[in-house]
Copies of this chain bind each other. A is one copy, B any other.
Amino acid sequence: MGRYNRAVVLDQIQLADGISRVEIAQLTGLTPQTVSGIVRRLLDEGIVREDGASRVASGGKPRTTLRLNADAGSAVGLHFDPVQLTCAIVDLTGRPLVVKKRPTPTDTDPSDVVAAMAELVGEVLAEDVVPRSRVLGLGLATPGPIDQELGTIVAPPQLSHWDRVPLRRMLSEATRLPVTLDNDATAAAIGERWSGAGKGVANFAYFFFGTGVGGGLVLNHQVYRGGSLNAGEFGHSSVLSDGPQCYCGNRGCLEGLVNPPAIVAEVHRRLAAQPEDSSVLSRLFAEDPASVDHATIRLAAAAGDSVAAAVTDEAAERVASVAVSIANFIDVDLIVLGGHGIQHLESRYVDIVASALATRPLARHIRTVQVKSSPLGTDGAVVGSAALVLHATYSPQLSALLAH
């Protein structure tokens, strides 16, 4: 119980932008005595600090503000995307102190990829922004599905030769750090809960637009992982009944219709069928079709190019349809959209999804589900992967309670 209450108090301090002992007691239902005792220990351990400024509550006595001590601990986050590796050192408040990236080695043995990961981790640590003794571990965000107990990726759709590779053990041996493994989208959702759009929100769904479309769920203030630890596969809802066969076994999956290759193919198809003078892309395409890639299309759509914008808006409508299902099924308070797949197009996606959420979920008469783009942007997964390490330290988890 002591450990659980400690986690509850720490969570309140982390979520608030400065909070007093009295406020913690009010929010948690713990007695002021219990809160004081826990805070005293957290201060002694250096995890929490007292803010110099004391605020005077209306009519009451001055209250000392408590904050997390950002320097008390840090973790290395590593985001393993099939295209790019991103590594960061993140402090206790969720702020990335160093971020480094490199291309993921392709068409090679998993052990070469692990070696590249370890090298990148070494480069980040060599920056010496935090004392090595304060680095609590390495969090790894990988494409799913994963088997948490074994620490392996299971039959990852976009990584051939990666079936049941013991990634956690290999990376731990290569870096000599304890490794915590999670689904990339779940990690990004944890990042949002920690320091992004989901901070303090009881129930939210996070859409992660990367090489594919994944997602994560926070329910009742807790990360919800599901029975096999693979919840949040929002990309595999059939949104087009007669749509193309998906590798997952379904037809017309969201992911297959809105992932980068699908967007590029659709834009190319339209440009080839009917050149439009008004479209900058049309001219680029005529010169060199390969130059009209996903990044170019995103920038063009953001600038209002007619073809790119139309294809983007149709993709956003499909995302909106799944967002409405999520609202109806899971009744979340907020949907967060993030990931590099919608970079520069965040507000376009947010507008279209918001409009659907305002008009289509069954419970909209009771309250409208909000939608926001991720303030962490493309760093969501790497911040979240570091949070994997720090999360168990300060987040209230029923399992921690039940283990006592």
Contacts and interface: CB of A to CB of B under 8 A. Distances in A.
A331 B227 contact: yes
Interface in A327-343: 328-333
Interface string A144-163: 11010000001100000000
A329 B326 contact: yes
A220 interface: yes
Contacts of A228: 331, 363, 366-367
A233 B329 contact: yes
A37 interface: no
Interface string A86-119: 0000000000000000000000000000000000
A331 B230 contact: yes
Interface stretch (A44-52, A188-196, A235-243): A235-243
A57 interface: no
A324 B369 CA distance: 24
Contacts of A269: none
B230 A325 contact: no
Interface stretch (A14-22, A273-281, A286-294, A396-404): A396-404
Nearest to A250: B360
A208 to B, nearest CB: 13
A54 to B, nearest CB: 28
A234 B331 CA distance: 11
Contacts of A217: 329-330
Given A228-B367, A362-B248, A366-B147, A328 B1 contact: no
Interface string A183-213: 0000000000000000000110000000000
A215 B241 CA distance: 22
A324 B250 contact: yes
A219 interface: yes
Nearest to A363: B230
Looking at A239, A330, A398, the one whose CB has the most chain B CB atoms below 10 A away is A330
Interface in A248-264: 248-250, 252
Contacts of A249: 359-361, 364
Interface in A372-404: 398, 401-404
Interface residues of A, number: 61
A201 to B, nearest CB: 9
A231 interface: yes
A155 B232 CA distance: 30
A296 interface: no
A244 to B, nearest CB: 13
Given A232-B329, A360-B249, A362-B233, A226 B238 contact: no
A229 interface: yes
Contact of A365 (B154, B239, B362): B154
A366 to B, nearest CB: 5
A40 to B, nearest CB: 21
A224 interface: yes
A225 interface: yes
A321 B238 CA distance: 7
B145 A366 contact: yes
Given A145-B366, A238-B324, 19 more contacts: A8-B402, A28-B402, A29-B403, A154-B365, A202-B227, A219-B219, A219-B224, A224-B330, A227-B332, A230-B362, A233-B331, A233-B362, A237-B237, A237-B325, A240-B241, A248-B360, A249-B359, A325-B325, A326-B329
**Would you list the 3 A-B pairs with minimal beta carbon distance, nearest first?**
A226-B331, A231-B331, A230-B363
22 contacts: A29-B404, A145-B363, A145-B365, A154-B365, A215-B329, A217-B330, A226-B331, A228-B366, A231-B331, A232-B329, A233-B331, A233-B361, A234-B329, A236-B328, A237-B237, A237-B325, A237-B328, A237-B329, A241-B241, A249-B359, A250-B324, A325-B325
